[in-house]
Amino acid sequence: MGKPIEKIIKTLEEYYKNFEAPPVVRGSPPLFQLLIRTILSARNTDENAVAAAKLLFSKYKTPKEIARAPIKELEKLVKRGVFYKVKARNIKKLSKILVEKYGGRVPNSMEELIKLPGVGRKTANIVLSYGFKKAEGIAVDTHVFRVVNRIGVVHEKTPLKMEKALLKVVPKKYWLNFNHLFVLHGRNICKARNPKCEICPIRKWCDYYNSISS
């Protein structure tokens, strides 16, 4: 029998109604900054990604400026976390594409976003949902992947397979808010180590909790 996904989502909506958004999207950053923050957050902490983006934008404000910036300078500015050299190259390349193809604007479709260097479905979904308020999918990051598998909403081995499975069981009206809620839950309660099951508001529906409490 499937999980009561609407009850789970509504319970999380009530529980987290007064919580701040995750750092990468906090403060509703401009679209280009949101895109860069999300790219920098890959295999990195949100705090490091935001700090690196802040340093980058303190010197270079626009896609045109970043496209013209020396790559070594960009590497120094985003040097927080892993793969910073690859991320710097991708940021420079996509900035050039944004300038030449989109007039410096961030495109607003999944098809166009995932063609940009360093942008996969997770990044594209975050930009679309938080930046454009468009629901073309569900962003599956490490928090979403862990929490969904633990609860047993679906069980999948890759983020892409999980997104496809979630789109079949989660009503579309909840797609925009799904990542937000499950990231908050993963950061605050359903942590990778030592999850706080005793205070979890959705534990009665959770496969992991039921397995350890039986």
- Point out the residues that are catalytic: 122, 141
Of 71, 173, 74, 167, residue with least CA distance to 121: 167
Chain centroid to CA 62: how far? Answer: 22
Q: At what angle do helices 46-59 and 31-40 cross, to 10 degrees?
A: 130
Residue 83's φ and ψ, nearest 5 degrees, are 60, 30
In order, the DSSP letters of 41-71 are TTTS-HHHHHHHHHHHHHH--SHHHHHHS-H
CB 172 within 8 A of CB 135: yes
d(Cα 82, Cα 44) in Å, to the nearest integer?
Answer: 7
Half-sphere exposure of 13 (CA within 13 A, CB side): 11
CB-based burial label for 152 (10 Å; 0-12, 13-18, 19+): middle
